Amino acid sequence: MGFDAHWLDLREPADLRARDASLLTRAVELAGGGAVLDLGCGTGATARAFAAAGAAGCDWRFLDNDPALLSHAGARHPQAALLCGDLAEVGGLPLKGVRMVAASALLDLVSEAWLARLAERLARHGTGFYAALSYDGVMRWQPEDPRDARIRARFNTHQRGDKGFGPALGPEAAPRAAAMLRAQGFEVQLAPSPWRLGPQETQLQTALLDGIAGAAQEIGCADAAGWRMARHDMLAQGRAEIGHLDLLALPPAARG
């Protein structure tokens, strides 16, 4: 699993608009200036989203398996602790003293077993969890193309492949995480956080189309390239909705 800094910077404005404001505000309140471990931190976009929502004084601990991304994150957030490690090793996550674990665009890449281990560890440590922007399988385009539904189905199948954590939950990740955390005694909220993209996001839509078509093609979708070309030709008036879910889980001690 890996993402480059250019893609992460390209998507950050859309991510920030899409995040559910109520859950983000509650996450900031729960963090309360304490230690926050950001799983798969990328360039530190979650910390910037917290700051935009009024967070101050958080002790950020950035964990990623990509040293280059950690370098980008450290340059933007020089006070953060930079931790390079294997995200798949849930048992090794440094949770001691951490008030909240945060993640963005991560849950749809992980497996059922990974989520179960994380829920158990969070419960044992009494640690809150904020996971934003998990892809939920919704993909709508305007103008429509008769191949849209087929491409979406193939992409969603690709999302369930192994992304380095075992067979990924893909679009089912956020609801499954919510169920596991509730079983561990957490109070859990889910909220939609869709991207709504218009012609002004041509660069992001272009990169998105390339990624979706490439994934569909990988699993044998013969007309993915044709769909991609047709969608590129529509970008001047093209609109897209890409569904996500945000999740906030409060441990029993933090309720109220």
48 in any annotated domain:
yes
Residue 45's H or E segment, with its range, is helix 45-52
In a domain, 58, yes or no: yes
CA angle 166, 168, 173 (to 5 degrees): 135
What are phi and psi for residue 39, nearest 5 degrees?
A: -80, 130
Cβ atoms of residues 210 and 228 within 8 Å: yes
Question: Cα dist. 160→31, 49, 173, 229 in Å?
Answer: 31, 28, 10, 25
Q: Give me the residues of the chain with pLDDT under 70, please.
A: 1-2, 254-256
- Partner residues linked to 102 by β-bridges: 38, 130
Residue 27 lies in a domain: yes
What is the model's pTM?
0.96
E-assigned strand segments in 24-161? 35-39, 59-64, 81-84, 98-104, 128-142
Q: Is residue 222 part of a domain?
A: no
| 36, 127, 179 from 249: Cα distances, Å | 14, 9, 11
Residues near 129 by beta carbon (within 8 Å), at least 6 away in sequence = 100, 101, 102, 118, 122, 181, 186, 247, 248, 249
8 A C-beta contact, residue 193 and residue 133? yes
Q: Could you give the CA distance from residue 100 to residue 35 in angstroms, rounded to a whole number?
A: 7
Please indicate, yes or no, if residue 96 is contained in any of the structural domains.
Answer: yes
User: Which domain CATH number covers 70?
Assistant: 3.40.50.150
**Pairing of the two strands 187-192 and 195-197:** unpaired
Tell whether the torsion through CA atoms of 212, 207, 143 and 18 is positive or negative.
Answer: positive
Number of domains in the chain: 1
Closest CA to 162 of 118, 89, 112, 111: 111
Say if 26 falls within a structural domain. yes
Query: What end-to-end distance do the CA atoms of the chain give, in Å?
Result: 37
Please state, in angstroms and rounded to a whole number, the distance separating the CA atoms of residues 187 and 250. 5
Q: Is residue 229 part of a domain?
A: no
Structure tokens at 46: 């979650």
In a domain, residue 93? The reply is yes
Segments forming the whole domain that contains residue 69: 5-139+164-198+242-254
User: 98-104 and 195-197: which strand pairing?
Assistant: unpaired
φ, ψ of residue 57 in degrees (nearest 5) = 80, 10
